[in-house]
């Protein structure tokens, strides 16, 4: 796995909170960018999707995005805090990723269960 989940839990108010860290040997970093590695935005969104799925014990995939903002670069080995909460519409989750209490990324994801073939 290219990241590790340190903790993940669903709170009493149905929020999902997690702490993760990225693997310094991840192929995401070797190709993006050699000599100045940063975690691509799509990897950040996949990580949030996975964390929500783990908390809900569902295999989810991303089907829509709105208001996504990338505010800070993520370097290898950084510890990230993820906070997500279910939106008013079914399968929508507002989220934010922070590092050292600074906003890294935020937005709204629309997720759906993966269909078996």
Q: How many domains does the chain have?
A: 1
Mean pLDDT over residues 94-109, rounded? 97
Residue 46 belongs to domain spanning: 3-113
Beta bridge partners of 61: 112
Integer angstrom CA distances of residue 65 from 29, 38, 102? 23, 21, 22
Mean pLDDT over residues 45-50, rounded? 97
The lowest-confidence range among 17-26, 27-36, 70-79 is 27-36
**CATH, residue 13:** 3.10.129.10
Mean pLDDT over residues 91-104, rounded? 96
Q: What pLDDT band is residue 115 in, cutting at 50, 70 and 90?
A: confident
Over 70: is that where the pLDDT of 117 sits? no
Label the pairing between strands 79-86 and 3-10.
unpaired
109/117 Cα distance (integer angstroms): 24
Mean pLDDT over residues 19-48, rounded? 90
8/54 Cα distance (integer angstroms): 8
């Amino acid at each position: 796995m290219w990241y590790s989940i340190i903790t993940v839990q669903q709170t009493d108010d149905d929020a999902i909170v997690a702490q993760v860290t990225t693997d310094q040997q991840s192929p995401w970093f070797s190709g993006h960018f050699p000599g100045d590695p940063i975690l691509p935005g799509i990897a950040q969104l996949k990580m949030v999707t996975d964390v929500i799925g783990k908390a809900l014990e569902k295999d989810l995939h991303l089907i829509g995005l709105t208001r996504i903002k990338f505010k800070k670069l993520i370097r290898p080995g950084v510890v990230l805090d993820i906070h997500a909460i279910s939106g008013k519409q079914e399968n929508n989750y507002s989220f934010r990723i922070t590092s050292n209490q600074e906003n890294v990324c935020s937005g709204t994801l629309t997720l759906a269960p993966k269909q078996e073939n």
